[in-house]
């Protein structure tokens, strides 16, 4: 096959069925190439107008009267997210709190139903919150931790199988790894956990809005995730949680707040959890941030998650092909799985001095990020990235490597990378 050219990619952009979505996002007045939407998605243009309406119309105009609409907002957006993007049914997903807090709520609820079990299982490479929440729960409940072992050459399921036994009560995993981009086979992992009698909580933060997730048919029980990454909800936007319908009556979350109470405005003396997914809510939702989640979810739903995934796979394949061609000779290598089925929406590169390369690339107008110790992450988000953007970004990276001046940039990490 002849090597791709920039002209080929411009043709792909011209024929891209998702091309029109690019103009539905606000941009600063610059020409930045943004490959960091897996950390913070761009703002949808509709969000600006919506937040203005929430402030001037609903808050200033409606005052407390607006609570009638606000009280159901987390459920309404949760239903759209769940049914359109996550393969859930109505009433199984709600927006609430942060991902970290939701993880704690669901993991704790699951552990309360596994009193005869003695271990929590997690992957030591998982996102810090996930490991810390597990460690905190283990300390509070007097449980042990078992880490999924790193057995070179073994696939994830056999590594997980090695630590799942009759003693494991809870497994906590991310569907897409925040550093490597590896995507786990959800259905097989669910079956393994079920076989061992362990509950499982999935973190979908790096999956929601970029890969199709099939909570309903994959045997998933519990899940949480972010709305500010591929869902473009805005910095610090509330997280979401999923509890399979039949478990909702069985599980009790540990934070007994007024919003999770049945008939809140009866102001009852004792806590009685609401029926259904509502019992997993806690207190007054942050309406400004929560309302801002809807436009991004609506854009993904409108584009269709299958079309988003199809473009994401092509963008990542172009990126990988160019990295092999231009960057690998300089020692900067693709560290994400090469088979699309085992990869989420971003590609990680590893090599020497990647932190300095990251700084040089940002100075060259390509926003990406670095995760210690040596991961450079590039996420070509399908709704706002063109194929030529991937070409241009990698061409700038190649030029930086060739000039070699980046080695003089500071090697010490800044507070935020
Ligand atoms: C981004 C991310 C989070 C973030 O949690 P917050 O509580 O929103 O800070 C959690 N887990 C994973 C896997 C993530 O990628």
Hey, which of 178, 182, 207, 417 would you mutate to test ligand 1's pocket, going by the most ligand atoms within 8 Å of its Cβ? 178
Specify the pLDDT at position 77.
98
Atom nearest to 236 CA in ligand 1? 8
- DSSP letters spanning 194-238: HHHT-EEEEE-TTTTTTS---TTTTT--EEEE-SSSTT---TT--
pTM exceeds 0.85 for this model: yes
Strand ranges of the sheet holding 347-350, from the earlier edge strand across to the other edge: 333-334, 347-350, 375-378, 369-371
pLDDT averaged over consecutive 10-residue blocks of the chain (417 residues)?
Answer: 91 98 90 96 97 98 97 97 98 98 98 94 97 98 96 93 94 98 98 97 98 98 98 98 98 96 92 97 97 98 98 98 98 98 98 97 97 97 98 98 94 89
Q: What are 238's two structure tokens?
A: 């509330």
Atom nearest to 226 CA in ligand 1? 8
Specify the pLDDT at position 1.
61
Closest listed residue to residue 174, CA positions, set 240, 210, 125, 218: 125
- Tally of residues, the chain: 417
Task: Give residue for tokens 């991961």.
Answer: 375
| Cα 196 from Cα 182, distance rounded (Å) | 24
Specify the pLDDT at position 29.
73
| Cα 347 from Cα 230, distance rounded (Å) | 14
Contact 204, 175 (CB under 8 A): yes
Atom nearest to 126 CA in ligand 1? 13
CA–CA distance from 282 to each of 73, 104, 182, 236 (Å)? 14, 13, 33, 17
Q: Using one digit for the tens of pLDDT, what is the confidence trace for 372-417? A: 999 999 999 999 999 999 999 999 999 999 999 999 999 998 888 8
What residues act catalytically? 127, 203, 228-229, 377
Hey, which of 40, 205, 346, 375 would you mutate to test ligand 1's pocket, going by the most ligand atoms within 8 Å of its Cβ? 205
Centre of ligand 1 from the C-alpha of residue 367, in Å: 20
Q: Is 376 left (phi over 0), alpha (psi -120 to 50) or beta?
A: beta
Centre of ligand 1 from the C-alpha of residue 11, in Å: 36
CA–CA distance from 344 to each of 23, 232, 392 (Å)? 24, 17, 22
Centre of ligand 1 from the C-alpha of residue 282, in Å: 19
| Cα 44 from Cα 252, distance rounded (Å) | 36
Specify the pLDDT at position 172.
98
Residue nearest to atom 14 of ligand 1 (CA): 205
| Cα 299 from Cα 292, distance rounded (Å) | 12
Q: Ligand 1 pocket by C-beta < 6 Å: which residues?
A: 98-100, 127, 129-130, 174, 178, 203, 205-206, 226, 239
3-state secondary structure (DSSP) of residue 321: helix
Question: How far is C-alpha 195 from the chain's CA centre?
Answer: 27
Centre of ligand 1 from the C-alpha of residue 95, in Å: 14
Hey, which of 95, 99, 236, 238 would you mutate to test ligand 1's pocket, going by the most ligand atoms within 8 Å of its Cβ? 99
């Amino acid at each position: 096959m002849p090597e791709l050219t920039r002209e080929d990619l411009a043709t792909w952009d011209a024929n891209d069925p998702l091309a029109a979505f690019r103009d539905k996002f606000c941009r600063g007045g610059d020409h930045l190439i943004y490959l960091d939407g897996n950390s913070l998605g761009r703002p949808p243009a509709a969000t600006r107008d919506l937040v203005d309406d929430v402030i001037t119309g609903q808050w200033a105009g409606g005052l407390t009267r607006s609570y009638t609409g606000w009280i159901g907002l987390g459920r309404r957006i949760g239903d759209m997210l769940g049914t359109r993007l996550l393969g859930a049914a109505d009433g199984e997903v709600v927006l609430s709190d942060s991902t970290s807090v939701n993880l704690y709520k669901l993991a704790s609820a699951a552990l309360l139903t596994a009193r005869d079990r003695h271990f929590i299982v997690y992957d030591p490479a998982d996102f810090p919150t996930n490991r810390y929440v597990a460690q905190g729960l283990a300390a509070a409940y007097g449980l042990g931790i078992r880490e999924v072992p790193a057995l070179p050459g073994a696939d994830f399921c056999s590594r997980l199988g090695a630590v799942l036994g009759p003693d494991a009560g809870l497994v906590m995993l991310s569907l897409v790894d925040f550093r490597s981009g590896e995507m786990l086979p959800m259905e097989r992992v669910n079956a393994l956990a079920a076989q061992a009698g362990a509950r499982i909580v999935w973190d979908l933060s790096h999956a929601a809005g970029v890969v199709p997730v099939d909570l309903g048919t994959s045997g998933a029980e519990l899940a949480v995730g972010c709305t500010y990454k591929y869902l473009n909800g805005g910095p610090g936007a509330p997280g979401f949680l999923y509890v399979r319908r039949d478990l909702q009556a069985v599980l009790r979350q540990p934070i007994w707040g007024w919003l999770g109470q049945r008939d809140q405005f009866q102001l009852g003396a004792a806590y009685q959890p609401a029926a259904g997914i509502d019992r997993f809510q806690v207190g007054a939702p942050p309406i400004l941030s929560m309302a801002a989640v809807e436009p991004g979810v609506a854009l993904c739903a409108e584009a269709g998650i299958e079309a988003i995934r199809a473009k994401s796979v092509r963008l990542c394949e172009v990126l990988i092909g160019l990295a092999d061609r231009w960057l690998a000779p300089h020692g900067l290598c693709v560290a994400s799985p090469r088979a699309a089925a085992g990869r989420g929406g971003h590609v990680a590169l590893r090599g020497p001095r990647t932190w300095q390369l990251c700084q040089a690339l940002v100075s060259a107008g390509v926003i990406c990020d670095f995760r210690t110790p040596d991961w450079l992450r590039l996420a070509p988000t399908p709704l706002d990235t063109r194929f030529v953007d991937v070409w241009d970004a990698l061409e700038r990276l190649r030029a930086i490597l060739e000039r070699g001046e980046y080695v003089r940039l500071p090697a010490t990490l800044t507070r935020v990378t």
